[in-house]
Amino acid sequence: MPLEEVLTALGGAARIYRITPVNTDTDIDDFMWENYEYLFNLFHYLLQLYRVRARIVLRMEFVNSTDSGPDRYETFYFPSLPADFVEHFDSWHERHLLALNTNFSRFNERSSNWKFHRIIDGELVIATLE
């Protein structure tokens, strides 16, 4: 299963889930949509019991290729937005997908030597409130 709970704290009020890509050569849009059903089902369950705040952070690998030496691989973290309340999953999903793509584009504008290689995984950070 691509969605695995890796941390529960504060009596279950804070949770972190690791999201593993189905395909290793996926981009942000594909990653978010291929995990849509898992995320939707998780939020559907949680929203029946709690008020929920959530955010996503993607761990992505980039490569810096130079003519003078070996390729250098580096991991960068891309947050979506600060954790916000999830009232309707689809609108939350759309906001955070847009933010991830915006952060990715800004990184590419600033760091032209780094080329996207793959999404390693993602973390879904959830806080539940009664």
- Which structural domains are found in the chain, ordered by start? 3-129 (3.30.1490)
Structure tokens at 101: 């793509």
pTM, two decimal places: 0.86
| pLDDT tier, 10 (very low <50, low <70, confident <90, very high otherwise) | low
Task: List, for residues 35-80, the tens digit of each pLDDT value.
Answer: 899 999 999 999 999 999 999 999 999 998 777 778 889 999 999 9
Per the listing, tokens 């705040």 go with: 53
Per the listing, tokens 């959830």 go with: 126
CA–CA distance from 1 to each of 4, 5, 6, 22, 34 (Å)? 7, 11, 13, 9, 12
Give the separation between CA 130 and CA 126, rounded to whole angstroms: 13
Coil/strand/helix, residue 80: coil
Per the listing, tokens 């898992």 go with: 38
